[in-house]
Amino acid sequence: MGKLIDGKAFANRLCETLAEEVASLKSEKQLTPCIAVVLVGEDPASATYVGAKVKRCEQLGIDSRSHHLDVTTSEEELLSLIDSLNNDPAVHGILVQLPVPKQINSEAVINAISPDKDVDGFHISNVGAMAVGQNNMVPCTPLGSMMLLEDELGDLSGLNAVVVGRSNIVGKPMATLLLQKSCTVTVAHSRTKDLPAVCRGADILVAAVGIPHFVKADWIKEGATVIDVGINRIQDPETGKNRLVGDVDFDAAKDVAGAITPVPGGVGPMTIACLMYNTVAAAKKLSGIA
């Protein structure tokens, strides 16, 4: 059996370090990092995610301001709120929980957030900065995945990396970050010819397609490191209860991979920890602290 990459433990260690840094910023710089979280509507999964983020803020000493808007909120109303948060010096990070209701253009919302307060790392300016290797806000899930990879493997240069999925939120930025670490990167997707063969060439395999158990064990090269970004809710045929599974057929893959992230307990906790990381970084940058 391959090594389990414990994202929950890593996230806890990262948050302990961030809590110490936040305490130092408060006592030495009179600076309290603050994030504003905006939720539009009543989507249960989104409400759960927001609750988890607010809880982490409390644990770290980060101020959080929650704005829960009605599902009928117009795009104009949401953009007006974002504008006020952009201009509030006490707010260092702004996160609008996606998805938003259909009457609101998510791209307009993302790009209305000040790039310096874009702790999700989705603003077009931050995406462009990342593409050319400049310091910027990096999307939380790819950032957390990279932290786990470097902790597990150390130097990634020269390794073959395959990213299955090309979303703007995970797939594309993940490929960019791997390229920056001098990996040889392949981005695979629904139109990739002979996808299993492409995956078998990977020293690092990142699954980010949103399909439960999509990546099979015989797609994985023996000893490869597997990062499973998927979070899918399925019904267990034996118990009838819902449970979370990844994009990788974990039970079979764990016997082939050299190291693999479980679901839950892998990449998921890192995403929220990296949101806290980005919020602290934003607070320091906006306050002129190196």
Phi and psi, residue 44, nearest 5°: -60, -45
3-state percent breakdown (helix, strand, coil) of the chain, nearest 5: 45, 20, 40
In whole angstroms, give the CA distance from residue 149 to residue 260.
10
Q: List, in order, residues 6 or more apart from 273 with CB less than 8 Å away.
A: 10, 11, 12, 14, 15, 18, 56, 144
| Active-site residue set | 53, 97, 120
The two three-digit tokens of residue 287, written as one number: 């306050």
Q: Is 145 annotated as a binding residue?
A: no
Q: Is 41 annotated as a binding residue?
A: no
Q: By C-alpha distance, which of 199, 164, 203 is closest to 181?
A: 203
Helices 44-60 + 7-29 axis angle, to 10? 50
Judge whether 91 and 65 are in contact, CB under 8 Å: yes
| Residue 72 identity (one-letter amino acid) | T
SS3 label, residue 149: helix
Name the E strands within 62-211: 63-69, 93-96, 160-164, 184-188, 204-207
Q: List, in order, residues 6 or more apart from 216 with CB less than 8 Å away.
A: 196, 249, 252, 253
In whole angstroms, give the CA distance from residue 38 to residue 99.
11
Q: Is 154 annotated as a binding residue?
A: no
Q: Is 106 annotated as a binding residue?
A: no
In whole angstroms, give the CA distance from residue 105 to residue 93.
20
Annotated binding site for NADP(+): 165-167, 231
